[in-house]
Amino acid sequence: MKFRSDPSRIRGSIAPVITPFTAEGALDLASLRGLVRWQLAAGAHGVSIGGSTGEPSAQSVAERIAAIRAVAAEVDDAVPFLPGTGSAKLDETLEITAAAHEAGADAVLVITPYYARPTQEALYRWFATVAGEFPDLPIVIYNVPSRTAVDVAPETVARLHRDLDNVVGVKETTKDFEHFSRVLHLCGRELMVWSGIELLGLPLLALGGAGFISAVSNLAPWAVARMYEAWEAGDHEAARELHYGLHPLVDLLFVETNPAPAKWVLARQGRIASDHVRPPLIPLTAQARPRVEALLAQGAALLDET
């Protein structure tokens, strides 16, 4: 938790690691630890677990906490650790956030409560409650309207950032790029904004964003991290080359519902023991495999170098 006291240091490519399961469907902590070691070796600037790519809604609270503890131990303060701790229920959110706090998380990603479609005032009170319970823990709002059916308005983000010292950032997983700009305009550059949309990660840096929490880093962690580093070093052409080179791998992720395609690739590579996804998802279908293989071949040059 050495980054907790200065969240402005949490920048770059934060890898949202998948949650591996055994072929029987049990939590596979050994494979999870291996994935984290791979991310660290590839130069990821941070590690996350329990976002949409990690299938949190298909896990029990105990399983999510076990995964958080395993990742925290493997990261061991080498890079920032930002677990997702949100749920559709406030008591679960507080319980998982408390466990992440105890495990040494540097910040937590708190998703908007899904299905209920709360108003902006309700969202404000939700995030204010979580932030108030953990005043020394940086809180990152996780806005993903395509999965939650509610969008955190820029004005609500600004209000939370203004009223609560530990609301330090937002992960914006929306394809409305104007939304990114309005958040930064209202909140100021001190708010940390990460893109959760793979192909908007590089453009966000031009607006002053902090980086990206990009699912494609599950396949090409080296390339995603280098893209950020090239931009920060002023080598914008190299950053653009990596951005466009990643296109096939980004498309691969969504041939069927994320994370099924990524898990299929990782299992085939031997990085995880099984490509199992929990219901209501299903593993990559046979009909989709040729498309995934073709995209994998197109993006082969950017597959990990470590």
Burial (CB count within 10 angstroms: exposed 0-12, middle 13-18, buried 19+), residue 35: buried
Instruction: Provide the 3-class DSSP secondary structure of residue 152.
Output: coil
**Sign of the torsion formed by the C-alpha atoms of 243, 248, 249 and 254:** positive
Whether residue 273 contacts residue 20, with contact meaning beta carbons closer than 8 Å, is answered with yes
102 alpha-carbon distance from chain centroid? 20
**Alpha-carbon gap, residue 233 to 290, rounded angstroms:** 38
**SS3 label, residue 12:** strand
What is the amino acid identity at position 104? G
Chain centroid to CA 118: 23
Extended beta strands in the chain, E state: 12-17, 46-49, 108-111, 139-143, 167-172, 192-195, 211-212
Place of tokens 């409305």: 176
Encoded amino acid at 116, one letter = A
Q: Which residue of the set 171, 175, 228, 244 is catalytic?
A: 171
Do 181 and 204 contact (CB within 8 A), yes or no?
Answer: no
Given 89, 114, 142, 228, which residue is catalytic?
142
Active site residue 171: yes
**Bridge partners of 27?**
21
Active site residues: 142, 171
